Amino acid sequence: MNLLLYGAPGSGKGTQANMLRKHFGIPHVATGDMLRAEIQAGTPLGRQAQPILAAGQYVSDDIMIGMIRNRLHQPDCASGFIMDGFPRTVPQAKALDSLMKALGKPLGRVIYLKVETDELLRRLSGRLVCPLCQRTYPPATASCEADGGALVQREDDKVEAVKPRIEIYLQKTVPVLDHYRGEGLVSEIDGRGTIEEISRQVLAAVNGTVTPRGRTA
Ligand code: AP5
Ligand code: MG
């Protein structure tokens, strides 16, 4: 099963991907997490990417497409994956189409988590992350459930980076949704509600059912 989580910054992609990862036992492929791991390790790519992420801008399509190509060829992706944060531009979406075709892996469903801007801003300003494993948590969470690590604010959740992140999403990433709508792959989920309520709708959409608050396009 190859799934794609789509939505604005703070819409809950990482949160729901973590649920799907546990539920289906397939890897969570998150380009933002991969870039932050490069930054933490101080690699040449990490050094190049750090100021781009801090400013809320996008890393180049060439770099991101190469990164995903390498990741999807790894053996743990053979039985499926949950993609989060890619594709973010129409050229990335077209490159993913070609890659999936070459790998013989059709995309099963695109889950669109639709959340209003006010709610995105509220969530991002309070979000905590584990610097060790990258999992995200709501405000006031004490420590990471996986490794007990102390939680921190993400550098790009500071106010000066949040506005450009939302602007670039509207400009470059919204057209990606039309790309997938055209293929009839999109399930739109109203992102209001508790994490557990959204998880139920996401699972229903993945399992191909229509729920009262979500609709399968
Ligand atoms: P990335 O890490 O992908 O960031 P993002 O898309 O901005 O999304 P976020 O991780 O901020 O939000 P999310 O949707 O995962 O929400 P979460 O579950 O954490 O990318 C970071 C950067 O890397 C980009 O800006 C770019 O620079 C670069 N990059 C990455 N991929 C790239 C690409 N393909 N091309 C070019 N550049 C790329 O939830 C947010 C908060 O809300 C949490 O605190 C959570 O607990 C809470 N929450 C979740 N659901 C609910 C709910 N239902 N109710 C209340 N709170 C909730
Ligand atoms: Mg995320």
CA 25 to chain centre: 17
Answer whether residue 94 shows pLDDT above 60: yes
- List, for residues 126-154, the tens digit of each pLDDT value: 899 998 888 888 888 999 999 998 999 99
- List, for residues 167-191, the tens digit of each pLDDT value: 999 999 999 999 999 889 999 999 8
Per-residue confidence at 111, pLDDT binned at 50, 70, 90? very high
- Model's pTM, two decimal places? 0.93
E strand or H helix at 205: helix 195-206
Asked whether 13 lines ligand 1 (CB < 6 A), one says yes
- List, for residues 55-75, the tens digit of each pLDDT value: 999 999 999 999 999 999 999
Asked whether 214 lines ligand 1 (CB < 6 A), one says no
Asked whether 151 lines ligand 1 (CB < 6 A), one says no
Residue 84 Cα, ligand 2 centroid: separation in angstroms? 7
34: which 2 tokens?
Answer: 């991969």
Percentage of the chain exceeding pLDDT 90: 84
Percentage of the chain exceeding pLDDT 70: 96
Residue in the structure block whose two tokens are 């508790």: 194
Mean of per-residue pLDDT scores for the chain: 92
Q: Which of 58, 86, 160, 189 to mutate to test the pocket of ligand 1 (most atoms within 8 A of CB)?
A: 58
Say what the pLDDT of residue 55 is.
Answer: 95
